[in-house]
Amino acid sequence: MQKFSFFISAVILTATPLTWAQDKAFPTAAELAKMTDAERHAQAARTEVWTPVPKVVSFNQNNVPSDAIPLLGNSLSAWRAVKDGGAAQWQLKDGVMTVLPGSGDIRTAENFCDIQLHLEWQSPPADPAKTGQMRNNSGIFFQDKYEVQILDSYQNPTYPNGQAGAVYKQTIPLVNATKPTGQWQVYDIIYKAPRFDGNKRLSPGYVTVLHNGVLLQNHTEIAGTTEWIGPPQQPAHGCAPLKLQDHGDKVSFRNIWVRKL
Ligand code: MG
18/115 same-domain check: no
As beta bridge partners, residue 205 has 222
DSSP-assigned letter for residue 27: P
Both 113 and 197 in one domain: the answer is yes
Strands 243-244 vs 96-98: parallel, antiparallel or unpaired: unpaired
Residues 39 and 73 in one domain: no
Q: Which amino acid is at 125?
A: P
Ligand 1 mean position to 209 CA, how many Å? 15
Q: How far is the CA of 260 from the centre of ligand 1 (A)?
A: 24
> 171 and 217 in contact (C-beta within 8 Å)?
yes
Task: Identify whether 152 is part of a domain.
Answer: yes
Query: Domain range for residue 128?
Result: 69-260
Q: How many domains does the chain have?
A: 2
Q: What is the DSSP letter of 112?
A: B
Distance from residue 246's CA to the centre of ligand 1 (Å): 8
130, 240: one domain? yes
Q: Is residue 151 part of a domain?
A: yes
- Let me know whether 26 and 95 are in one domain: no
CA of 197 to the centre of ligand 1 (A): 30
Question: Each residue of 228-252: pLDDT tens digit?
Answer: 999 999 999 999 999 999 999 999 9
pLDDT in tens, the chain (261 residues): 444 444 444 444 444 455 555 556 999 999 999 999 999 999 999 999 999 999 999 999 889 999 999 999 889 999 999 999 999 999 999 999 999 999 999 999 999 999 999 999 999 998 889 999 999 999 999 999 999 999 999 999 999 999 999 999 999 999 999 999 999 999 999 999 999 999 999 999 999 999 999 999 999 999 999 999 999 999 999 999 999 999 999 999 999 999 999
Residue 236 Cα, ligand 1 centroid: separation in angstroms?
A: 23
Does the reported pTM lie above 0.85?
yes
Residue 41 neighbours by CB distance under 10 Å:
10
Residue 209 and residue 88 share a domain: yes
∠ at Cα 32 (26, 35), nearest 5°? 120
